[in-house]
Amino acid sequence: MKIGSVLSEILAVKQKGKRSHWVLLDPDDFTIEQAAAAARSSQENGVSALLVGGSLLQTNHFDEFVKSLRATVTIPVILFPGDAAQLSRHANALLYLSLISGRNPVNLIGEHVKAAPIIRQYGIEPIATGYMLVESGTVTSVEFMSDTRPLPRAKPGIAAAHALAAQYLGMHMVYLEAGSGAALTVPSELIRAVRSCVDIPVIVGGGIRDKAAAIEKLEAGADIIVTGNLLQKENGLEVMKEIAESVRKYS
């Protein structure tokens, strides 16, 4: 896979009016073997990419984890790093996330400076992404770890202005994040407001645990939906398959 090809493929899929389902595998939540099995099953069921990362990494198998996923699947393995320590030469790409909903310079530019030379050495594709944390009922790991305030749920105009700023700053995508395991998902009204003012792909994740929630986010204009935690629930694999199938059929 060439540098630039992951974003090109995302844009090509969007151009065709198709939607995608990505699965997040947090290295803290899976052994290497469990992750490989989940990855295989994700690919078999039509998931388009895997995300790897977390707000606070507490295990030391990150690089081995990414390497194993790359050896297991042909869909892109994309880093979703909580900080500059979560890098691996084995990934295809990384979401170069700027936490634009917050005002913490560390998450806006600090970690990026630390990561940039390593990304270059590793030859992985950075995809500049405006990462927007949305209030979701409880304090999420990303909110706590980033020491930032999420965007208010009931103010779609504020979210839309942030997304537009991301597009004007040249970012390639925006990610509307309720937080992993969120009590409440990103509200559809907020997704609609963002969708109506940007052309770049809109990713939505956090707390999506059933097909209905996934479809609701697609209806509101999400190009890509992300599920993570679901795979650890009873029947999680079945529900993940249902979601993947509905996203694949959605147009």
**Does residue number 130 form part of the binding site for ligand 1GP (CB under 6 A)?**
no
Q: To 5 degrees, how large is the angle CA 178–CA 180–CA 186? A: 20
Strands (E), the chain: 20-25, 49-52, 77-79, 93-99, 125-133, 173-177, 202-205, 224-227
Q: Which residue is nearest to ligand 1GP (CB)?
A: 205
Within positions 23 to 42, which residues make up the interface with ligand 1GP, using CB under 6 A? 24
Q: Classify 118 as helix, strand or coil.
A: helix
Q: b or e along 201-230 (b: 16 or more beta carbons within 10 Å of the residue's beta carbon)?
A: bbbbbbbbbebebbbbbbebbbbbbbbbbb
Find the part of the chain contacting ligand 1GP (CB under 6 A) among 87-95, 145-153, 165-173, 225-233.
225-233
CB closer to ligand 1GP, 5 vs 229: 229
Shortest separation between residue 5's beta carbon and ligand 1GP, angstroms: 23
CB closer to ligand 1GP, 41 vs 229: 229
To which residue do tokens 């977390």 refer?
54
Find the part of the chain contacting ligand 1GP (CB under 6 A) among 81-89, 92-100, 176-184, 211-219.
176-184
Shortest separation between residue 145's beta carbon and ligand 1GP, angstroms: 12
Instruction: Pick the binder of ligand 1GP from 182, 202, 214, 218 (CB under 6 A).
Output: 182
Beta bridge partners of 204: 176, 225
Shortest separation between residue 144's beta carbon and ligand 1GP, angstroms: 14
CB closer to ligand 1GP, 31 vs 138: 138
CA distance 68 to 73: 9
CB closer to ligand 1GP, 6 vs 23: 23
Compute the Cα dihedral for 13, 14, 17, 20 and give only its sign: positive
Please, are residues 48 and 75 in contact by the beta-carbon 8 Å criterion? Answer: yes
Q: Which helix (H) or strand (E) holds 157?
A: helix 156-168
Within positions 32 to 91, which residues make up the interface with ligand 1GP, using CB under 6 A? none
Residues near ligand 1GP (CB under 6 A), total: 14
Site string for ligand 1GP, 195-224 (x = CB under 6 A): ----------xxxx----------------
Please, are residues 63 and 70 in contact by the beta-carbon 8 Å criterion? Answer: no
CB closer to ligand 1GP, 15 vs 58: 58
CA distances in angstroms from 54 to 51, 57, 247, 248, listed in the order given:
10, 6, 24, 26
CB closer to ligand 1GP, 81 vs 156: 81
Instruction: Pick the binder of ligand 1GP from 125, 135, 177, 223 (CB under 6 A).
Output: 177
Return left, alpha or beta for 4; rule: phi > 0 is left, psi -120 to 50 is alpha, else beta: left
Binding residues for ligand 1GP (CB under 6 A): 24, 177, 180-182, 205-208, 226-230
